[in-house]
Amino acid sequence: MSTTGASADPLAALGSLTGVPESVESVRKAVDRVYGHRIMRRRSNEITSEAALRGARGSAALSGADWALEEVRRRTDFSGKDESRVVGAALRLTAEAGQLLSIWRQSPLRVLARLHLVAAASKEDEVGRPRQAGEPVDEPLIELPLPSAAEVHGRLEGLAELVIAGGSAPALVTAAVVHGELLALRPFTSHNGLVARTAERIVLVGSGLDPKSVCPAEVGHAELGRAAYVAALEGYVSGTPEGMAAWIAHCGRAIELGARESTAVCEALQRGAA
């Protein structure tokens, strides 16, 4: 995978985005439908647990381990071949995300380092810190040019400043930017996709858009497919307002599909209780 010099900085295009309010409103309606379901009032913990499992499965699928949901549910040992380790990492990250919400707004870089440590489940020197010059990156499904370690450092600082500052940006926009920036930078030597999608989940939950974590965007990203995922990411990496808006809309659609998945779980539980 090649390394480029300075590339377009998508964060600079945030102020000129158009067409985003429609995605924000569509996502809000989809989320409200889940939270308004009668089953959510009585069995929200079950919906959250199921959403976590399905979200982890979806994230693993995007990282090359496309297992059936029941196989993920059944399996207890994830120490085997490469795909097994990917699924195990996705499950660990989903479990860890809820423990890091209070830290995220004060120290997002610390959270990202912790997520990489959890995903890698290793004590190697390169784990839990941004990559250094010359270190390779194992992220085979993202073939975009790789920013230099120096560029990664600068843009991670900019991303952290954006998160800490907060501001009035809708949760969808912030979540999509965090997700897209981490995929574009691939700041760690491995597991960047899994970490990026977990960070998106943390933003959606911590922002209050999905406080019970029942709208797993990872499910939607997997359903939309890897080709569409990479194509939308290319729009983000372009740094143009149009490309950024297309990526945000793609992330919005993924959240809507995640919400639809949990609505279907609610319906199934309701039928079983009838």
pLDDT at 5: 39
Point out which residues pair with 190 in neighbouring strands: 138
Confidence of residue 19 (pLDDT cuts 50, 70, 90): low
Q: Is the pLDDT of residue 163 over 50?
A: yes
Looking up tokens 């985005």 gives 17
Give Rg (Cα) of the chain: 18
Q: How far is the C-alpha of 156 from the C-alpha of 109, rounded, in Å?
A: 8
Confidence of residue 159 (pLDDT cuts 50, 70, 90): very high
Enter the pTM of the model.
0.92
Q: Which two tokens stand for residue 140?
A: 């085979």
Percent helix, strand, coil in the chain, to 5, is 70, 0, 30
Q: Give pLDDT tens digits for 28-55.
A: 999 999 999 999 999 999 999 999 999 9
Of residues 51, 52, 61, the one with CA closest to residue 225: 61
Q: pLDDT higher for 232 or 76?
A: 232
Q: Give pLDDT tens digits for 73-121.
A: 999 889 878 899 999 999 999 999 999 999 999 999 999 999 999 999 9
Q: Give pLDDT tens digits for 51-71.
A: 999 999 999 999 999 999 999
pLDDT at 79: 84
Per-residue H/E/C for 199-256: HHHHHHHHCCCCCCCCCCHHHHHHHHCHHHHHHHHHHHHHCCHHHHHHHHHHHHHHHH
Confidence of residue 201 (pLDDT cuts 50, 70, 90): very high
pLDDT at 4: 41
Q: pLDDT higher for 148 or 124?
A: 148
Of residues 4, 12, 5, the one with CA closest to residue 243: 12
Q: How far is the C-alpha of 19 from the C-alpha of 6, rounded, in Å?
A: 28
Confidence of residue 21 (pLDDT cuts 50, 70, 90): confident
Looking up tokens 């890091």 gives 100
